């Protein structure tokens, strides 16, 4: 009996020590990963600030596009949709910011780092693949999130819009949009040979999203069959979630459909990046 008890205590103590060591190791690794991401993001922010074209795209183009939308959608068929012109413009402004700031800036960033062998050199160090891609994205993601917050604040303070009805859905829609834009930018970089051609390879997603994801014309104003098809586009669930979160509405089934579509596109993008992303130039 004595031997059995001692062995039991010894095993328990060993398991506890091992678990504690594993937890400490995981904490150290998480801290090290955070430090690597911070260093890489700081370097990318410096490059972003020095790039006037990228700064214009990140800071001024979203505002210009929102103002352009305001003058364009005044004749949009909004009867029966429950949306005003202001509602449409402001809720469409958030996904538009994500496209213009995150997607359009990250494609040339990934391509230029690849062609300059930066990505290849980074992979020879301690950085993991996802840390390299995430670190490069952090500065533009921070700018995009700040602009989204400004849009929400401006809508409430200047345009007399109501505060978000479901902040959880609004935040979830923005975060899913950020993830999708980062992943699709990495996937688009696969077919982009030069930074100059990034303007061309980015056009399909940009134009399809602007025309078919409910930004300029609400999907509720379209025939049901067409709307059901268009809701399968990558940015459509983001537009829906942002709209549900800010303005309310959205049955549980509609929210789940939007979440499922966004997650499906994210998984497809992850597969594409893992399978085809190139870390060095083509020869």
Q: What is the DSSP string of 108-134?
A: HHHHHHHHTTHHHHHHTSS--HHHHHH
Task: Give the model's pLDDT for residue 8.
Answer: 42
- Cβ–Cβ under 8 Å, residues 164 and 151: no
**Who has greater pLDDT, 63 or 172?**
172
What are the extents of the domains in the chain? 50-276
Q: Is 66 in contact with 93 (CB distance < 8 Å)?
A: yes
pLDDT tier at 126 (50, 70, 90 boundaries)? confident
pTM metric for this prediction: 0.85
pLDDT of residue 60: 73
Report d(CA 184, CA 152) in Å as an integer. Answer: 25
- The answer on pLDDT for 7 being more than 60 is no
Which region among 9-23, 157-171, 218-232 has the lowest average model confidence (pLDDT)?
A: 9-23
Contact call for residues 151 and 93 (beta carbons, < 8 A)? yes
Cβ-defined contacts of 249-253 (< 8 Å, 24+): 249/82, 250/166, 250/169
Lowest mean pLDDT among 3-12, 75-84, 243-252, 261-270: 3-12
Q: What's the average model confidence in pLDDT over 120-136?
A: 91
Model pLDDT, residue 144? 92
| CA 261 remoteness from chain centre | 14
- Position 5 scores a pLDDT of 43
Q: What is the mean pLDDT of residues 33-46?
A: 84
Any alpha helices (H) in 98-194, and if so which ranges? 104-115, 118-123, 129-157, 167-190
């Amino acid at each position: 009996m004595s031997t059995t008890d001692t062995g039991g205590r010894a095993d328990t103590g060993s398991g506890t020590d091992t678990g504690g060591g594993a937890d400490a190791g995981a904490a150290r690794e998480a801290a090290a990963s955070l430090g690597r991401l911070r260093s890489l993001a700081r370097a990318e922010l410096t490059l972003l600030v020095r790039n006037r074209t990228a700064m214009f795209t990140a800071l001024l183009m979203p505002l210009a596009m929102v103002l352009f939308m305001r003058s364009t959608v005044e004749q949009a068929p909004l009867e029966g949709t429950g949306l005003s012109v202001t509602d449409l413009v402001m809720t469409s402004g958030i996904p538009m910011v994500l496209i213009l700031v995150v997607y359009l800036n990250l494609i040339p960033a990934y391509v230029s780092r690849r062609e300059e062998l930066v990505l290849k050199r980074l992979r020879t160090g301690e950085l993991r693949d996802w840390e390299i891609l995430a670190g490069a994205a952090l500065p533009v993601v921070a700018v995009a999130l700040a602009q989204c917050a400004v849009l929400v604040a401006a809508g409430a303070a200047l345009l007399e819009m109501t505060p978000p009805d479901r902040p959880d859905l609004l935040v979830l829609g923005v975060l899913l949009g950020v993830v999708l834009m980062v992943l699709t930018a990495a996937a688009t970089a696969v077919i982009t040979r030069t930074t100059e051609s990034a303007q061309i390879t980015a056009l399909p997603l940009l134009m399809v999203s602007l025309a078919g994801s409910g930004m300029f014309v609400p999907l509720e104003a379209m025939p049901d069959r067409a709307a059901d098809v268009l809701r399968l586009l990558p940015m459509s669930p983001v537009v829906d979630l942002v709209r549900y979160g800010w303005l309310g509405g959205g049955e549980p089934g509609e929210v789940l459909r939007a979440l499922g579509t966004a997650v499906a596109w994210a998984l497809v993008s992850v597969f594409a990046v893992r399978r085809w992303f190139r870390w060095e130039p083509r020869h």
